[in-house]
Amino acid sequence: MAKKEYRTYRGMRDFLPSQMRRRDYVFNVLREVFEAHGFEKIETPAIELWEVLSGKYGEEEKLIYRFTDRKGREVGLRYDLTVPLARFVAQHRSELVFPFKRYQMERVWRADRPQKGRFREFYQCDADIVGSPSMMADAQIITIIYDALTRLGFKRFLIRINNRKLISALHRKIGEGDEFSLARAMDKLDRVGLDGVKDELLSRGFSPSAAERVIAAMSLTSLKEANKFFGEEEGIYELEELFSYLKAMGIPDDFYSYDPSLARGLDYYTGPIFETVVEEPRIGSITGGGRYDKLIGSFAGTEIPATGTSLGVERIITVMEELGMFPEKISPPAHILLAHFRDTRAEALKLASQLRQKGIKVDVYCGEKGLRAQLGYASQKGIPLVGIVGEEIKKGMISLKNLLTQEQSEVPVENLEKFIRGLYYFDFG
RNA sequence: GUGAGCGUAGCUCAAUGGUAGAGCAUUGGACUGUGGAUCCAAGGGUUGGGGGUUCAAAUCCCCUCGCUCACCCCA
């Protein structure tokens, strides 16, 4: 036996079957929501050439896993799914139908220090619309966020919405400092409060009068007020249009709001930006996204507008675990286990094949132990039904035991499929 | 990158500076037709690693590695 202690690399995880069932449940719901909105799935490679990744993330770039391959080419593990999408669109432009609506559910990597809800290897589920400058596209993205979270059972969440153009406008209005620094300070609101933001601005070299104006801008609670404050601004018109579409699509208005403090860290956003927060538990944002009209142009040569969101599945799963939101019965590893004795093995295997052809998930115990152990096996794996293939098989009968209710009865083999399908707790899709 | 807490059997955890233990898990048996069992037995540890203080260190001190949490930032 190896004595060395092995473990997973920091921030990376194994998933047990019981965990995978829950994860897949979430992924399946998301897939259904994406497809309900007409989005098509694509995949892209884990590794991108360094020139694809570099210069897209600002400060975050230092968190990209970067290395050289055997021939000395600079490459990196993808940091998100948005930049690879931009490269993908530029590369396959002639083969795509625009506006192009795609979703992606894949791993990304960040050389970050792990903590609660943060990993070095994790999945993101992204939905983006490429090739439409219309606020209809942004509205559809936000609707997807709402639909996905609602279908997963979230009762309360808030989609915060702002526009990068308004941060630029505010920066122009105060006429000092740099925009990035301004955005950073504003983004701290929910952690340090208005006074904290003011201190942050002063320590970043903004004048007291500038800080006052920023605080005033951040105290705006509605688009109407924002309109008065900013005057004629494209960013305001965009949000007004966006909100009118959200209303038309029936999103309850207490699930989203204009939030002048939302800034978002990534460099590539150019228009409306949005992220979703939950109050319990404290975990940071569970979705994040926005419009990025210039990014694809940096690959394609010509500008191609785009907007989209990333759903933070890992955090969504963490929240669902902590709040006990997973349904009691996520589909079992098998609908039925066929238990057998030494002289009925062949019969059990034959019956298993027949049932599988009818779409039943059948497990057959493949160890050398007796009935006692086989029942324990089913019980521990969470298989709710055991078909005991014993000598009654000669009469065309098997004993069917329901482990949840303790009930047992002899059932003719030809009725078995119907019997299994009749049980309320199975979902046969 | 900054800070705090914690590392004892495969897992969860005990042990005032004084003989390293329990439960679960594993393996064998009671036990080839009725389930998470019960009983018996067995295996399993340089107490993360290294150094120091001490008659004596899992326990105190230093270094190091690892994990967790928070900050930064983010999904």
Q: Chain-centre distance of CA A78, in angstroms?
A: 16
Alpha carbons A90 and A330: distance in angstroms, whole number: 40
pLDDT > 90: percent of chain A: 69
A window 382-421: Cβ near strand B (< 7 A) = 382, 388, 390-392, 399, 401, 403-404, 406, 408
Nucleotide with C1' nearest the A343 CA: B32
At A3 the pLDDT is 47
Residue type, A87: R
Alpha carbons A387 and A276: distance in angstroms, whole number: 47
Picking from A324, A338, A322, A319, the residue whose alpha carbon sits closest to that of residue A383 is A338
| Residue A375, CB, strand B, below 7 Å | yes
Provide DSSP, A50-97: HHHHTTSSGGGGGGS-EEE-TT--EEEE-S-SHHHHHHHHHHHGGG--
> Is the distance from CB of A272 to CB of A239 less than 8 angstroms?
yes
DSSP conformational letter for A411: E
Residue that the structure tokens 């993101």 belong to = A124
Alpha carbons A202 and A85: distance in angstroms, whole number: 39
CA distances from A370 to A58, A145, A342, A344 (A): 63, 51, 9, 12
Q: Chain-centre distance of CA A303, in angstroms?
A: 28
Q: Where are the domains of chain A?
A: 17-322, 336-420
CA distances from A126 to A40, A97, A148 (A): 11, 18, 12
A window 151-210: Cβ near strand B (< 7 A) = 184, 187-188, 191
CA distances from A170 to A188, A217, A232 (A): 17, 8, 12
Sheet (strand A397-402) strand order: A362-364, A336-340, A385-389, A397-402, A408-412
At A428 the pLDDT is 67
How deeply is A139 buried, as exposed, middle or buried, from its count of CB atoms within 10 A (0-12, 13-18, 19+)?
Answer: buried
Residue type, A267: D
The 3-state DSSP class for residue A240 equals helix
Q: Strand B: which nucleotides have any atom within 7 A of a protein Cβ?
A: 1-2, 31-37, 66-75
User: pLDDT tens-digit profile of A173-219?
Assistant: 988 888 888 888 888 887 788 888 888 888 888 899 999 999 999 98
| Residue A39, CB, strand B, below 7 Å | no
What sign does the CA torsion over A215, A219, A222, A225 have?
negative
Residue type, A120: R
Q: With a cut of 50, say whether residue A1 has pLDDT above it.
A: no
What sign does the CA torsion over A239, A244, A250, A253 have?
positive
At A424 the pLDDT is 67
The 3-state DSSP class for residue A157 equals coil
| Residue A371, CB, strand B, below 7 Å | yes
Place domain A336-420 in its CATH homologous superfamily. Answer: Anticodon-binding domain (3.40.50.800)
Picking from A292, A258, A355, A27, the residue whose alpha carbon sits closest to that of residue A137 is A292
Q: What share of chain A is helix, strand, coil (3-state, %, to 5)?
A: 45, 20, 35
Domain A17-322: assigned CATH number: 3.30.930.10
User: pLDDT tens-digit profile of A369-415?
Assistant: 889 889 988 988 888 899 999 999 999 999 999 988 888 999 999 99
Q: Which of A234-248, A282-296, A320-334 has the lowest mean pLDDT?
A: A320-334
Q: With a cut of 90, say whether residue A324 has pLDDT above it.
A: no
User: pLDDT tens-digit profile of A53-102?
Assistant: 999 988 889 999 999 999 999 999 999 999 999 999 999 999 999 999 99
At A367 the pLDDT is 82
Q: Which of A100-109, A156-165, A285-294, A328-337 has the lowest mean pLDDT?
A: A328-337
Picking from A282, A378, A394, A415, the residue whose alpha carbon sits closest to that of residue A346 is A394
Alpha carbons A391 and A130: distance in angstroms, whole number: 64
> Is the distance from CB of A226 to CB of A236 less than 8 angstroms?
yes
DSSP conformational letter for A330: P
Alpha carbons A264 and A274: distance in angstroms, whole number: 8
At A194 the pLDDT is 86
Alpha carbons A321 and A319: distance in angstroms, whole number: 5
Which protein residue lies nearest to nucleotide B68, measured between its Cα and the C1' atom? A115
Q: How far is the CA of A21 from the C1' of B35 (A)?
A: 23
Model confidence at A422, in pLDDT bands (50, 70, 90)?
confident
At A2 the pLDDT is 34
Element holding A384 (H helix, E strand): none
**Pair of tokens at residue A299:** 């690959």
Q: A370 in the Ramachandran plot: left (φ > 0), alpha (ψ -120 to 50) or beta?
A: beta
Paired with A102 in beta bridges are: A40, A128
